[in-house]
Chains A and B, each alone.
Chain A
Amino acid sequence: MESSDEVAVHKHRIHLRTATLRDAAPVTLHLLPCEVPVNQPAPVGRFFTPAIRLPPPGLEVSFRGRKLRGEEVSVPPGLVGYVMVMEDKHDFSEGSENNEEQGEQELVESPEALERDFDCFIGATASFSRFTLWGLETIPGPDAKVRGALTWPSLAAAIHAQVPED
């Protein structure tokens, strides 16, 4: 991301490919306490998984020469985790093959015409019910931010639940 003086805040309208949710196969996930600013496949099964050790009370591994300690985190009951991928920008020109496919999707948004750089499509490539959360040298524990995020659905449900009028 280069900084520039021209700053435009882009808005997006996101469409979910609902069909992908049904076919998403379960996957093993690791959430690392660092950023790798690229998006590409990595040989997790050859380099990372075999190096995991189980000294109590948690898991231990190293990544790039740094020690990580981890624990399993479950997705809250009633919810499913999905690995979502944003599709590349579409060619929204008239009569493209996309139109046919879009017909199958239930577009939650109003049936306005799709616009380039405005409408985005996301779909699931995998699903999960648990993942391994890693911290740098310490087990992330109950205060980990991602745990806070996972409590949000139940909190949101409580906020929006109907309250008796008396």
Chain B
Amino acid sequence: MDLSELERDNTGRCRLNSPVPAVCLKQPCALGVDEAGRGPVLGPMVYAICYCPLSRLADLEALKVADSKTLSESERDRLFARMKEDGDFVGWALDVLSPNLISTSMLGRVKYNLNSLSHDTAAGLVQYALDQGVKVAQVFVDTVGMPETYQQRLQQRFPGIEVTVKAKADSLYPVVSAASICAKVARDQAVKNWKFVEKLQDSDTDYGSGYPNDPKTKAWLRRHVEPVFGFPQFVRFSWRTAQSILEKEAEDVVWDDSVAEDQEGVGRITAYFDEGLRSRTRLPHRVCSRKPGRHSLLHTWAACCESCGTAVLPAVRCRRKHHYAGHDSIAVLEAESPRSGCQRGGVL
């Protein structure tokens, strides 16, 4: 499998595909969707589709494709090579989502969770097959999340196609098994040949399976903590495992949109002035956007800081409904915050 495009830039996403067999442009086809590398804290996630004419499904089955997890690496490689030989009736395409893309999606200002990312990638690949002229009649998908809602979503998007979303589809339908093999072969190869964007001092690739519960993976993560930058981009920063290691072993980073739980108290408003020029800390207060009446903490206050529950006076009502603006002129007075237990002040 030629992953050279990914090797050139592995910070985004990358699509690869086989030539479309001529027969797939004429005859109704079954198309399977599966993924590899959804769980690991390291490396890319790969989505793959595999399709063949309904009339040739028996030939695909005869290759003895099975759920990629039940096959050894060499069996997968052999089966992938067989599919290539059968390129006159089997086609595939895949989308490699880099760990950086996964991190930045999941940690975005507007969170884009892994399920949505997965669903959209799967739908994007089906659309890609259609755009290439493949006569897709049936789609089989190994589920991510609730099969019912996922199926409904895909069926709405592709009304002319019969969509089946099922758990364990990769062992039930040969086209899904074949897709799972493509995805797994690509993921393994991508991980094996991963080019670190960073200039690391050693080429330590003893990271085990990449799954969070693998002691080798955890040890590798610990060895590669950089106090300021955290990890190389090979790591999915959005994974709990990665985050908890950073919380303990790297420096804090405070973003404008961080929530209260991520920050430590700073102190009184006057503390802002008495630390000299070097240690002044800007406070990432945000004005609560909830209606004042609904606010559980400070019924009588007009607004409060979303980060720490500090009361904000005077509230300046924005022209937009239920929002408070004028952040620059609002002084933050001290108040106890039972929610976060922090006591802070500052100027917005």
Q: How far is B336's CA from A152's CA once the two chains are assembled, in angstroms?
A: 38
Report whether B267 and A62 are in contact in the complex, using a CB–CB cutoff of 8 Å: no
The stretch from B19-27, B65-73, B209-217, B225-233 touching chain A is B225-233
Residues of A in contact (CB 8 Å), total 37
**Neighbouring B residues of A51 by C-beta, 8 Å:** 11, 197-198, 233
Q: How far apart sit A35 and B49, CA to CA, in the bound complex (Å)?
A: 43
Number of interface residues of B (CB under 8 A): 51
CA distance A12 to B277 in the complex (A): 9
The residue of chain B having its C-beta at the shortest distance from the C-beta of A60 within the complex is B11
Closest to A85 in B: B278
A50 and B197 contact, CB distance less than 8 A: yes
B131 contacts partner chain A, Cβ-Cβ < 8 Å:
no
- CB contacts under 8 Å to B, within A66-100, are 66-67, 86
Are A8 and B274 in contact, CB atoms less than 8 angstroms apart? yes
On whether the beta carbons of B100 and A62 are closer than 8 Å, the reply is yes
Q: Specify the chain B residue showing the minimal Cβ separation from A122.
A: B277
A12 and B268 alpha carbons, distance in the complex (Å): 21
- The B188-208 residues at the A interface (CB cut-off 8 A) are 197-200
B104 and A46 contacting across the interface, CB-CB below 8 Å: no
- List chain B residues, Cβ under 8 A from A43: 226, 228-229
Contact B279 A1 (CB under 8 A): yes
- Residues of chain B within 8 A (CB-CB) of A8 are 274
Chain B residues near A67 (CB-CB < 8 A): 104, 108
A7 pairs with B268, CB closer than 8 A: yes
In the complex, are the beta carbons of A65 and B256 less than 8 A apart?
no
How does the 8 Å CB contact mask read for A1-25 relative to B, with 1 for contact and 0 for none?
1111001111010100000000000
In the assembled complex, B265 has its CB within 8 A of some CB on chain A: yes
Q: Name the B residues within 8 Å of A36 (CB-CB).
A: 228, 251-254
Evaluate contact between A3 and B252: CB separation under 8 angstroms.
no
Contact A66 B278 (CB under 8 A): no
Once bound together, how far apart are the Cα atoms of A38 and B268, in whole Å?
Answer: 20
Q: Which residues of A contact B255 (CB under 8 A)?
A: 33-34, 66, 136
CB of B237 within 8 A of chain A? yes
Whether A64 lies near B278 (C-beta < 8 A) is no
Interface string of B281-319 (1 = CB under 8 A from A): 110100000000000000000000000000000000000
Known: A1-B281, A63-B229, A137-B108. A35 touches B253 (CB 8 A): yes
> Quick one: given A1-B267, A2-B267, A34-B256, are A65 and B107 in contact (CB under 8 Å)?
yes
Residues of A within 8 A of B227 (CB): 38, 40, 42
Max count, chain A CB within 10 A of own CB: residue among B197, B230, B246, B254: B197
Q: Are B104 and A50 touching (Cβ within 8 A)? A: no
Q: Smallest distance from the beta carbon of B282 to chain A beta carbons, Å?
A: 7
Q: Does A37 contact B (CB under 8 A)?
A: yes
Instruction: Say yes or no for B270: interface residue by CB 8 A criterion.
Output: yes
The minimal Cβ–Cβ distance linking B300 to chain A, given in whole angstroms, is 24
Partner of A45, one of B199, B266, B275, B344: B199
Q: Is the CB of B104 within 8 A of A7?
A: no
**Contact A64:B237 (CB < 8 A) given known A12-B276, A51-B11, A136-B256:** yes
Min Cβ gap B257→A in Å is 7
12 A-B residue contacts at CB 8 Å? A2-B267, A7-B274, A8-B274, A9-B273, A37-B281, A64-B229, A64-B246, A65-B104, A65-B238, A66-B103, A86-B278, A120-B277
Q: Which residues of A contact B (CB under 8 A)?
A: 1-4, 7-10, 12, 14, 33-40, 42-43, 45-48, 50-51, 53, 62-67, 86, 120, 136-137
Given contacts A42-B227, A47-B198, A65-B104, 19 further A-B contacts (CB under 8 A): A1-B266, A1-B279, A3-B271, A9-B270, A14-B277, A34-B253, A35-B281, A35-B284, A36-B251, A36-B252, A37-B251, A37-B254, A40-B228, A47-B232, A50-B197, A51-B197, A51-B198, A51-B233, A66-B103
Q: Which 8 A-B pairs have the closest CB atoms?
A: A65-B237, A3-B267, A65-B103, A42-B228, A67-B104, A47-B229, A46-B199, A35-B254
